[in-house]
Amino acid sequence: MQSIRSILRESIEQLGLVEHLTVAYILVSLGCAAICGLIIYFVYKLFYRGAVYSENFALLIVMTTVITAFIVITIGSNLVLSLGMVGALSIVRFRSAVKDPLDVGFLFWGIAVGITSGAGLYPFALIATAAISLVYILFTLLCKGRRTFVVVVKYDDGAEEALQELLNKSHAKLRGRSKYKGENEITADIRYNKANADIVAKISEVAGVSSAVMVEYTGE
């Protein structure tokens, strides 16, 4: 007579809840995850749009992709172990703040690729990685010339009217205004294009302007 344990084990195997892992399956799954992770790495590195690039974060994307695939392989190989692993992972908390919201998207991209690779869906992982890469590169190239700068101008009261007229022609958006010790300071957003390429020089020529600085704004 079969024991209850053996009956449950046979039932689980018939339902396909437990996979018999082979060395080839593990190597192919981790290899696919590593290849996709490297593609994400180079896309992030070559088309990064933030202010400060972090090599450690780029490497974290590759590690996250491979580690996620490793976890999925482990969960799929043993139903009982998967329940314990889910409980263990649920208590993990990450306190590191992500400065750029786009970095969160890259992390989710790596996790998604790791899940699909660990589940054995290699064509889907590769095709999805290629498609997302093309979409991201396309949008990056299209928005490359539409950079936003912050213009900071210090001026006297007599330059108010001329400066305001010049900023209106450049379609600048006012961000802030302050006044101290008889001098005014204005901060405005401006889109970079051919017409606004020499905006700092034009502002500096206005009588009463003591300084004009233009800094690229990344949203961070």
Q: Which CATH number fits domain 148-217: 3.90.550.10, 3.30.70.260, 3.30.450.20, 3.30.230.10?
A: 3.30.70.260
> Considering only 84-93, 106-115, 134-143, 193-202, which range has the smallest mean pLDDT?
84-93
Judging by beta carbons within 10 Å of its beta carbon (0-12, 13-18, 19+), is residue 5 exposed, middle or buried?
Answer: exposed
Cα–Cα distance between 52 and 48 in angstroms, integer? 9
Rg for the chain, CA atoms, rounded: 28
Structure confidence at residue 133 as a pLDDT band (50, 70, 90) = very high
Strands 209-217 and 173-180, how do they pair?
unpaired
Q: Which of 44-53, 117-126, 206-215 has the highest mean pLDDT?
A: 117-126
Amino acid 113 reads V
H-only helix segments in 78-216:
79-89, 101-118, 122-142, 160-169, 199-205
Residue 57 φ/ψ, nearest 5 degrees: -70, -40
Q: What pLDDT, on the 0 to 100 scale, is given for residue 95? A: 60
| Separation CA 16–CA 161 (nearest Å) | 76
Q: What is the predicted pLDDT for the residue at 187?
A: 82
Domain boundaries, the chain: 4-142, 148-217
The predicted structure's pLDDT at residue 1: 47
**What is the residue-averaged pLDDT of the chain?**
76
3 state SS of 150: strand
Which residues, at least 6 apart from 128, have a Cβ–Cβ distance to it below 8 Å?
112, 113, 116
- Work out the pLDDT band at 82, boundaries 50, 70, 90: low
To the question of pTM greater than 0.75 for the whole model, the response is no
Torsion of CA 97, 138, 56, 150, to 10 degrees: -60
- Work out the average pLDDT over 170-188: 77
d(CA 200, CA 187): 13
